[in-house]
Amino acid sequence: MMRGAPLQPPPQPLRPLPDLSELLSLRGAAQGLRLPAHGIGRSARTGLHASAHRGRGVEFQEVRPYVPGDDPRSIDWRVTARRGRAHTKLYREERERPVWLLVDLDPAMFFGTRAQLKSALAVRAAALLAWVAALGADRVGAMIVGGTIPGVSASADLGPSPGSRAGSTVRIVPPRAREAGVLPLLEALLAMQPTAPASPHSTGGETGSEAARSSGATSMHEALRALATLARPGSIVLAISDFAALDEPLQTHYATLGVGCECRFYWITDALEEQGLPDGRFRGGLPGRVRTLDGASLRPRWLAAWRERETRLAQLAQRLAAPIVRLETHQAVQDALRPLLQGRATAA
């Protein structure tokens, strides 16, 4: 009998809808990781991220000769005695970043042709990023745009209660320090995730689930306007969406948010959206609204809508100097995100 590497168990299939136990288990995948630093934090709170400011802090930086104006309490008497000249200690002030997750869970995200729905991938990505931020001692909160869920309480809502809003609603989970803020965030994600597809309002030609986006776009406008007032300067905003509703007004809202915050885009995609339907005739839709689609005739409009979305997102990212991370529904979120996150030992 030949000896070799032990057989690895096959990967477990993903659940159609994530549950709390799965999102809690992502804490293990987040161990040892941190969000890569793209800019200097401007938050006024202390934490674990290096600031450009020098002063009395918690992390020693260097010793240099004393100059008039230095704090006498920072004099290093051992170095002073050894070198015969006054030397002072300098510290690098550490800071805590507020991290906001802007999560698109509009019912139109209830779509997928591979291993998972786009909405499920968005929930899993948000949960993993929340754990990474919390374990890195950041304050993490969320602004979630999703379907109406009557009777479910929220950490905070915009406008009337969720049950009184037609279409989509916006829910706010205020930032909290460390792991204390993750559980209510996970619960809000699960409560807001769609459990049925959106009802289409057009006759076809959209990219994948791009129909029924008008109410979702309106709520995303509300979310971005609110986030621009809530997010402190220096906050990091992690936008998780398929960006199907990224029209000119939304781009303007993102640009306003980007004046004081650092934005990063996590683009949820499905292979069918980029490739279009193959040749042939297909039946699809909702009960009572089933339509026959011709792949060859529909594909040009489908691909044109995809290219337009791709161009708009690329232009917005360039405008804000924001990175784009593409997440595809055939990937497990740990496999997709882990190579893009820094280990704590090597992070700046």
- Would you say 36 and 347 are in contact if contact means Cβ atoms under 8 Å apart? yes
- Please write the tens of the pLDDT for every residue from 100-146: 999 999 998 998 888 899 999 999 999 999 999 999 888 999 999 98
Supply the pTM of this predicted model: 0.73
Paired sense of beta strands 324-328 and 262-269, if any: parallel
What pLDDT was estimated at residue 217? 64
What confidence score (pLDDT) does residue 117 get?
93
Maximum CA extent, the chain: 89
Tokens standing for residue 233: 């300067």
Q: Output the pLDDT for position 183.
A: 93
Degrees, nearest 5: CA angle 256-262-265: 90
- The distance in angstroms from the start CA to the end CA of the chain is 49
pLDDT of residue 16: 83
**pLDDT recorded at residue 167:** 43
Tokens for 242?
Answer: 């398929």
Closest CA to 211 of 101, 124, 289, 114: 289
Tell me 260's DSSP state.
T
pLDDT of the residue at 21: 95
Tell me if 38 sits within 8 A of 75, measured CB to CB: no
Q: Identify the CA nearest to 258 among candidates 324, 170, 317, 171.
A: 317
3-state helix, strand, coil in the chain (%, to 5): 35, 25, 40
DSSP state of 157: B
Strand partners, 147: 168
Q: What tokens were used for 232?
A: 């402190």
Give me the count of residues in the chain: 348
For residue range 282-295, what is the model confidence (pLDDT) as tens digits?
Answer: 776 666 677 777 66
Can you read off the two tokens belonging to residue 82? Answer: 């050894």
Residue 257 and residue 238: Cα distance in Å, rounded? 12
CA 292 to centroid of chain Cα atoms:
36
For residue 8, count CB atoms less than 10 angstroms from its CB and return exposed for 0-12, middle for 13-18, buried for 19 or more: exposed
State the Rg of the chain over Cα: 24
DSSP state of 75: B
Taking 50 as the pLDDT cut, the residues of the chain under it are: 1-10, 39-58, 93-94, 148-167, 201-212, 214, 345-348
Is the Cβ–Cβ distance between 205 and 302 less than 8 Å?
yes
Per-residue model confidence (pLDDT) at position 227: 94
Residue type at position 303: L
Domain assignments of the chain as residue spans, ordered by start: 20-41+97-342, 49-95
Which runs of consecutive H residues, i.e. helices, occur in the chain? 20-30, 77-83, 118-135, 182-192, 214-230, 248-258, 271-275, 295-320, 333-337
Angle CA 337–338–343, to nearest 5: 135
At 269, the amino acid letter reads T
pLDDT for 36 equals 77
Contact criterion met (CB below 8 Å) for 33 and 130: no
pLDDT at 309: 93
User: What's residue 203's pLDDT?
Assistant: 38
Class for the domain spanning 20-41+97-342: alpha beta
